[in-house]
Amino acid sequence: MNLRHEILLIEDEKNICNFIATTLRTQNYKVSFAETAANGLSLAASGCPDLILLDLGLPDMDGIDVIRNVREWSNIPIIVISARTQEKEKVEALDAGADDYITKPFGTSELLARIRTALRRSSLNNGVPVSGQSRYTAKELVIDYDKHTITVAGDIIHFTQIEYKILTFLARNAGKVITYDTLITHVWGPYADSNNRILRVNMANIRRKLEQNPADPQYIFTEIGIGYRMIDNENL
Ligand code: CA
């Protein structure tokens, strides 16, 4: 049931552009592309694509500024594609409003999986607000937001208020990378110390309660230097 989603690709490297466009078209996506930020922004505004794939290193503008510009008027999902491996830029892109990132070189299946996740989350958000979902389910974990209960394999697990806040924020954004700063701001407020030591301590406690083997988590994954990503909600 592919509704012919339209994807706008903003990328100045021809090879990568062709590779991605071919991959997406065989999956029945409509693809439009731009080689500069200026063209990309004008296509984003005129064409109303369902998703933007954005290269951060463009000839005429920094990709981060493209994200900021789009976010002034649209919540359209943006996945950043970048050759840069520096965590700092990925964090900057996510904090500017990107939904996800993928690092070159990447495989076709990884790219398609990221696109599917982002599209699914965005169609969901357009219908029902994320906060309106009443349940999160993944493997043996169930979070019931209305009852404020968290169970693993049917057993109720008790979390502190802070732990609950962290866990439910990640669950409501399941599949998406949440940067340390975003999480800290959500839990402790905008004036919190951005040092993530307290967050790490809380996360260790959450994993101890949640995961069978905290060193090899199956629910909450660490994106080193960037943040955390919680496994997708199967309940959607
Ligand atoms: Ca480039």
Domain map (residue ranges) of the chain: 6-122, 131-230
Residue 51, beta-bridge partner list: 7
Q: How far is the CA of 54 from the centre of ligand 1 (A)?
A: 9
Q: How far is the CA of 53 from the centre of ligand 1 (A)?
A: 12
Q: Is the pLDDT of residue 191 over 90?
A: no
Averaged pLDDT of the chain: 91
Report percent pLDDT > 70 for the chain: 94
Kindly indicate the confidence band of residue 1, based on its pLDDT and cuts at 50, 70 and 90.
very low
Give pLDDT tens digits for 100-124: 999 888 999 999 999 998 998 887 7
Q: How far is the CA of 12 from the centre of ligand 1 (A)?
A: 5
Report percent pLDDT > 90 for the chain: 76
In contact, 151 and 141? CB cutoff 8 Å: yes
What is the reported pLDDT for 94?
A: 94
Residue 222, φ and ψ in degrees, nearest 5: -90, 130
Please state, in angstroms and rounded to a whole number, the distance separating the CA atoms of residues 18 and 73: 29
Q: How far is the CA of 11 from the centre of ligand 1 (A)?
A: 6
Q: How far is the CA of 109 from the centre of ligand 1 (A)?
A: 21
Kindly indicate the confidence band of residue 132, based on its pLDDT and cuts at 50, 70 and 90.
low
Class of domain 6-122: alpha beta
Domain 131-230 has CATH 2.60.40.1180: no
